[in-house]
Amino acid sequence: MVENKNNNHKIPKDHPRYQSLKYRHQIIEGMKCLVVTEAGLIAHGRGECFDYILGEKTSETAYNATRAAIAALLLAENPIISVNGNVTALIPKKLAELSNLLKIPLEINLFYGKKGRIEAITEMLESSGALDILGKEQSKMVEINELSSNRRKVDPKGIQKSDIVMVPLEDGDRTEALKKLGKTIITVDLNPISRTSLNADITIVDNIIRTIPLMIEIYKELKNFDKKDLEDILSSFNNKENIGKTLDLIIDYIKKEKIKLLNEL
Residue numbers at the binding site for ligand ATP (CB under 6 A): 43-44, 46-47, 50, 90, 169, 171-172, 188-191, 194-196, 207-208
Closer residue to ligand ATP (CB): 162 or 207? 207
Least separation in angstroms between CB 126 and ligand ATP: 22
Residue whose beta carbon is closest to ligand ATP = 47
Least separation in angstroms between CB 82 and ligand ATP: 12
Closer residue to ligand ATP (CB): 89 or 154? 89
Closer residue to ligand ATP (CB): 50 or 230? 50
- 3-class DSSP string for the chain: CEEECCCCEEECCCCCCHHHHHHHHHHHHHHHCCCCCHHHHHHHHHHHHHHHCCCCCCCHHHHHHHHHHHHHHHHCCCEEEEECHHHHHHCHHHHHHHHHHHCCCEEECCCCCCCCHHHHHHHHHHHCCCCCEECCCHHHCEECCCCCCHHHEECCCCHHHCCEEECCCCCHHHHHHHHHCCCEEEEECCCCCCHHHHHCCEEECCCHHHHHHHHHHHHHHHCCCCHHHHHHHHHCCCHHHHHHHHHHHHHHHHHHHHHHHHHCC
Least separation in angstroms between CB 124 and ligand ATP: 16
Least separation in angstroms between CB 20 and ligand ATP: 10
Least separation in angstroms between CB 157 and ligand ATP: 25
Closer residue to ligand ATP (CB): 44 or 117? 44
Closer residue to ligand ATP (CB): 60 or 229? 60
